[in-house]
Structure 1
Amino acid sequence: MYNRRPAAAALSLALVAALSVGCQVGEPGPAPLRPTPTTTTGAQAPPDSSPIVPTQSSAGDPYVPGNGNGGYDVRHYSLKLKIVPSDAKKSLDAVATIKAHAQREMAEFNLDLTGLDVSQVKVNGRKADFDHEGSELVVQPSATVAGGSDFTVTVAYSGTPRAVNDPILGQYGWIETPDGVAVACQPSGAHTWFPGNDHPSDKATFDLALTVPQNLTAVANGESGPASTANGLTTTKWTVEQPMATYLAMIAVGDFRVKEGVTPGGIPIMVAVDSSVRTPSIDDFYQAKAKITDEWVKLFGRYPFGSTGGVIDNAAVSFALETQSRSIYGDFDPSETIIAHELAHQWFGDSISVTRWQDIWLNEGFASYAEWIWGERMGGQSLQSRFDSLYQETPPSSWQVLTGDPGRERLFDSFAVYDRGAMTLHALRAKMGDDEFFSLLRRWAEDHRYGNATTEQFVDLAESVSGQELSSFFQAWLYEPVRPPR
């Protein structure tokens, strides 16, 4: 994620992403790193080493309380969405079919869904009772779902979705535009437009059928199929074959110019720019996306998805989000460094996703470091100069936010999560050397491809690749509320 608001604002400086639990890499390392918060008297409190524990109505992540659900693992979402932006009373009429695996016996289970009217729920083809209050859709199937079994849930729903306006994290989710809608859901706005398990620890494949007025164009993640038009409405189908976190699902509906092709490196590419957006030109946007995608393949390893690209919409928002395979941007002209940031997320945040939001530096620190690399390649500030400036000039108060556990209120802190996260990687590169460092990044992206991971797993892999003991290094850079020693 990239955000152009100042550091003090919610969602400050950059936007991302995603997560069934990934496997441990390498030999067992030191005890898991955890922050050591101070008490009000200044004495250090014991570190909290307990993992997040899902319940029926929550993934158990304190950064997004109430989001996600336990008891099952979603394998696939099939969304049929009729979107008529001009209909203020019911702009969305939809059916979601969810294929999942029960992790335990369930007489009832929860889905996340906010602000929409549910007309019917079926489980395995049979009508189910349900209660819908707030963000929780509680489903009571006619027969208990057996633990270890696969099951299918179908939800028919409609209404006019509304964006989340979080006093801490800002506006996200379903965002209306002058000619349609743009969807950008980090950290958990997917439940504003479809029911599901809205936490990155539960990734799934998707297919989407988008039906919109024929004078508008609908764009989504993944690969598109043929379009069909009937009764003034056009339907396009999109398939996401690689697992995706719910917050990375996107749609954009509007009056778009579209350009498709293949990058010089052979990766299919599709970009769309709203016709009301004058800069950049669609050709410039296309060329930047193609060029940077190919360069990141050389640096980070094979591209993880079926296509690359992006959407610039006329949404009155100042951020960009690395929605999987097709990043979405608000109504501004993104620089190549911002594009580089969002494309790096395709490896770090989208393909390999966080298991818990406290590890967001694994997304934003990595993407910010890629952004710095691209800026240097363009003739801008060198990596070392940027590192030195931030190290010397950042005030002590900014170092007090812990990069490895910034807290909900500082989840998108521009210095702690983005800059200090990138500085951590630059300092690690200096310890390891270029060959080992970039080998580490490629191993990280490959070993956890399409899965989820934690900071502890990254530390384990860094120690395995480097042959060094690095727990004290990462403790200083990620979990100490002071400037680390150089």
Structure 2
Amino acid sequence: MDHRALNRPNRPNRLNRPNRPNRDNRLNRLRLTRLAAPAVAALVALTAGCTGSTVQGRPGASGLRDPYFPKAGNGGYQVDHYALDLGYRPADRQLTGTAVITARAEQTLSSFNLDLSGLRVDAVTVEGEPARYNRTGRELTVRPRKDLGKGEVFRAEVRYSGTPRPLTDADGSQEGWITTADGAVAVGEPVGSMTWFPGNHHPSDKASYDITLTVPQGYEAVSNGELASRRDTGDGRTAFAWHSAEPMASYLATAAIGKFKVATSRTSSGIGVYNAVAPGEEARSAAALGRLPEVVEWGAGRFGPYPFATVGTIVVPDGTLPYALETQTKPVYSGAPSVELTVHELAHQWFGDSVSPKSWKDMWLNEGFATYAEWLWSEDHGGPGAQKRFDALLAGDTSFEGADAAHWDAFPPAAPPGPEDISEAPVYYRGAMVLQRIRQEAGDERFFDLLRGWAADHRHGNASTADFTAYAQQRTGRDLKKVWDVWLYGEDSPKP
């Protein structure tokens, strides 16, 4: 995750963390299949008809074998769209939800999996027909009444309810559905989104979203994209409908519910701004949020056009989270952000959100780029430039970055040792130093052309480290093999 300030607010520090709790990765015992009462007769008929001679499909894989999170995501299909209709009661922390998932089968499917942690599944249909399903750990296996053909677009609907619970990451921090004093906030990196909606929870499967949040009157409910409507439901509640047309990885989806103070405006180029700030955080947030439009326009100048239709901020009460997260179009901050942190999270809208990693091993393409954006902002606004910050780190001077950068050379940024390391200092700082080395080799003109070209040519897609190294070689026309060997993949600490 991004900027996990476990020891210092608003900075990425995971180096001096407490002992991490052991994670129990064993699957829970198989739960009994739940049958929707009205569909019992149809399901009996289905069971009778499913003989070995008639079933042509095969089950979709229950994980994508990500190097660090092998059970994350699911095989056999790609999601096109999520329509989430959620109701939440802060008083008793009860969530009710209906998820309609529109997907395309990539093989003939006899069954497919959705990632879902906790919560009670009340009913499942596929193409309007009741479907059999069962739960095993964090896997919801769905068996449609009929096999799904390769290339077939299908709709699966899951109705569910319960009290969402957060997950504990490999590094000991929490993600998922997090309760606050007056509501809740959902943060999903890397797999926490499965705590509040079923889906294909891996960054390689991006989709468009419509998220409707219905909450008691007096509460605000904020999510990604644009606010399509806000209406009184007539039963003491308000429904907020949010629309995200651009593809989004599920870990970047958010839902924030609370007594927020909302302010709207526009950037100089006309991009809508929507800021939601928790009570008590308004005054301290004013300076950074006041410069948000400026930061967006600066980023457009450096990296190319802003990749989304809207931009904004969610500030939850200080202490809610030990980190900030670049949730798409509306980064989440725990307490008032600094201008520098705002620059970092908004840079992610280009690098991480629009251009998303193919796997969690590619995190430096998120964090190294966003950290380098901080260096560029400083360079363009009278502070120490990227070369000065590079030289300082290389000399062991962390005065510009803070103590959390001390172990920037602990491992190569393209090869974190394990899942607990994907947001450690080398991914941020040595990742940024890789970019500065490219700049040294290529010169400013070709380097900044590379940044803009990378953001444009991979807009709203996914990319790997191998994709970037090949692209950088081609775009700059330089042989960058030594940069990759020493800085990106080298096990030894680079020398001055």
Instruction: Settle same-fold status: TM greater than 0.5.
Output: yes
Query: 1:227: which partner in 2?
Result: 230
Query: 1:435: which partner in 2?
Result: 445
1:109–1:138 contact (8 Å) kept in structure 2: yes
What code does the residue aligned with 2:238 have?
T
What code does the residue aligned with 2:459 have?
R
CA distance in 2, matches of 1:335, 1:370: 14
What code does the residue aligned with 2:321 have?
V
CA distance in 1, matches of 2:101, 2:150: 17
Question: Rg larger in 1 or in 2?
Answer: 2
The CA deviation at 1:415 is 2.3
Would the alpha carbon gap of residues 145 and 403 (structure 1) be closer, same or farther in structure 2, given more than 3 Å must change?
same
Query: 1:8: which partner in 2?
Result: 15
Deviations along 1:90-141, one digit per CA (max 9) or x if unpaired, are x100100000000001111100001100010000000001001210000011
Would the alpha carbon gap of residues 2 and 223 (structure 1) be closer, same or farther in structure 2, given more than 3 Å must change?
same
Query: 1:267: which partner in 2?
Result: 271
Q: Secondary structure at the match of 1:294?
A: helix
Q: Secondary structure at the match of 1:226?
A: strand
CA distance in 2, matches of 1:219, 1:249: 11
Would the alpha carbon gap of residues 10 and 200 (structure 1) be closer, same or farther in structure 2, given more than 3 Å must change?
farther
Match of 1:63 among 63, 68, 86: 68
Deviations along 1:56-103, one digit per CA (max 9) or x if unpaired, are 110110311311100000000000000111114xx1001000000000
CA distance in 2, matches of 1:236, 1:245: 21
Which 4+ residue blocks in structure 1 deviate beyond 4 angstroms?
A: 394-398
Identity of aligned residues (%): 41
Structure 1, 285-294 or 195-204: larger mean CA deviation: 285-294
Query: 2:387: which partner in 1?
Result: 384
What code does the residue aligned with 1:85 have?
P
1:85–1:180 contact (8 Å) kept in structure 2: yes
Would the alpha carbon gap of residues 10 and 438 (structure 1) be closer, same or farther in structure 2, given more than 3 Å must change?
farther
Would the alpha carbon gap of residues 118 and 407 (structure 1) be closer, same or farther in structure 2, given more than 3 Å must change?
same
Structure 1, 375-384 or 394-403: larger mean CA deviation: 394-403
CA distance in 2, matches of 1:304, 1:219: 20
CA distance in 2, matches of 1:219, 1:446: 28
Query: 1:459: which partner in 2?
Result: 469
The CA deviation at 1:400 is 3.9
CA distance in 2, matches of 1:346, 1:378: 21
Q: Secondary structure at the match of 1:175?
A: strand
Q: Secondary structure at the match of 1:442?
A: helix
The CA deviation at 1:170 is 1.6
1:251 maps to 2:258: no
Match of 1:215 among 218, 223, 226: 218
CA distance in 1, matches of 2:333, 2:416: 25
Would the alpha carbon gap of residues 93 and 440 (structure 1) be closer, same or farther in structure 2, given more than 3 Å must change?
same
Deviations along 1:457-479, one digit per CA (max 9) or x if unpaired, are 11111111221121232121111
CA distance in 1, matches of 2:71, 2:150: 23
The CA deviation at 1:288 is 1.7
Query: 1:134: which partner in 2?
Result: 137
CA distance in 1, matches of 2:235, 2:485: 61
CA distance in 2, matches of 1:104, 1:470: 39
Would the alpha carbon gap of residues 9 and 185 (structure 1) be closer, same or farther in structure 2, given more than 3 Å must change?
farther
CA distance in 1, matches of 2:296, 2:135: 43
Across the aligned residues of Structure 1 and Structure 2, the Cα RMSD in angstroms comes to 1.9
Higher RCO, Cα 8 Å, sep 6+: 1
Query: 1:444: which partner in 2?
Result: 454
Structure 1, 402-411 or 294-303: larger mean CA deviation: 402-411
Query: 2:401: which partner in 1?
Result: none
What code does the residue aligned with 1:258 have?
V
CA distance in 1, matches of 2:14, 2:392: 17
Q: Secondary structure at the match of 1:227?
A: strand
Q: Secondary structure at the match of 1:320?
A: coil
Q: Secondary structure at the match of 1:469?
A: coil
Q: Secondary structure at the match of 1:142?
A: coil
Query: 1:330: which partner in 2?
Result: 334
Query: 1:84: which partner in 2?
Result: 89
1:287 maps to 2:290: yes
Listed as ranges, the matches of 1:82-481 within 5 Å are: 82-88=87-93, 91-168=94-171, 170-229=173-232, 230-281=234-285, 283-314=286-317, 316-331=320-335, 333-393=336-396, 399-481=409-491
Q: Which runs of 5+ in 1 are unaligned?
A: 12-53
What code does the residue aligned with 1:264 have?
S
CA distance in 2, matches of 1:423, 1:313: 32
1:224–1:238 contact (8 Å) kept in structure 2: yes
The CA deviation at 1:55 is 6.3
Q: How many residues align?
A: 440
Q: Secondary structure at the match of 2:395?
A: helix
Q: Give the TM-score taking structure 2 as reference length.
A: 0.85
1:72 maps to 2:83: no
Would the alpha carbon gap of residues 180 and 397 (structure 1) be closer, same or farther in structure 2, given more than 3 Å must change?
closer
What code does the residue aligned with 1:239 have?
H
What code does the residue aligned with 1:317 have?
L
CA distance in 1, matches of 2:476, 2:420: 31
The CA deviation at 1:442 is 0.5
Q: Which runs of 5+ in 2 are unaligned?
A: 7-12, 19-58, 398-404
CA distance in 1, matches of 2:282, 2:261: 11
